[in-house]
Amino acid sequence: MTPLEIINRRQSEILTEMAALDKMRSGNIYPNKKTRQNKNGEIITTTYYVFSCKDENQKTSSESVPTDCLEEYQKMVDNAQVFRKLGKEYEELANEKAKLVMTDATDKRAKKNRKSK
């Protein structure tokens, strides 16, 4: 397999992996603790979760995450991170592919010029 074929194959795999990622949310999930005292004087600490993200204007927004949805939120955040990582890899491969194509074109042009002399 040529380097170009290897790059094309990996790019195809990346696109397939990206398409398989269903739901995504860019942001983070943070645990918060809430401490209160009940009627008996006992101190009760509960943990709740907040999803925080930035919009296109870099404005931060937060929303409460229901405990029963925590796994789903975490999966969406993980999917967004995987998607970004795959996108970066795809871009790097596209750059490498362009270098290979341009080097090949330059080499062919140089050979053609040597033959014509």
Three-state SS string over the chain comes to CCHHHHHHHHHHHHHHHHHHCCCCCCCEEEEEEEEEECCCCCEEEEEEEEEEEECCCCCEEEEEECHHHHHHHHHHHHHHHHHHHHHHHHHHHHHHHHHHHHHHHHHHHHHHHHHHC
Least confident of 10-24, 46-60, 82-96, 99-113: 99-113
Task: Give the CA-trace dihedral at 44, 45, 46, 49, to 10 degrees.
Answer: 160
pLDDT tens profile 64-90? 999 999 999 999 999 999 999 999 999
Spatial distance between the Cα atoms of 73 and 80, rounded to a whole number of angstroms: 11
Question: pLDDT at position 103, please?
Answer: 82
> Domain range for residue 100?
3-116
% of the chain exceeding 90 in pLDDT: 76
Number of separate domains in the chain: 1
Residue 95: pLDDT band (50, 70, 90) is: very high
pLDDT at position 112, please?
A: 61
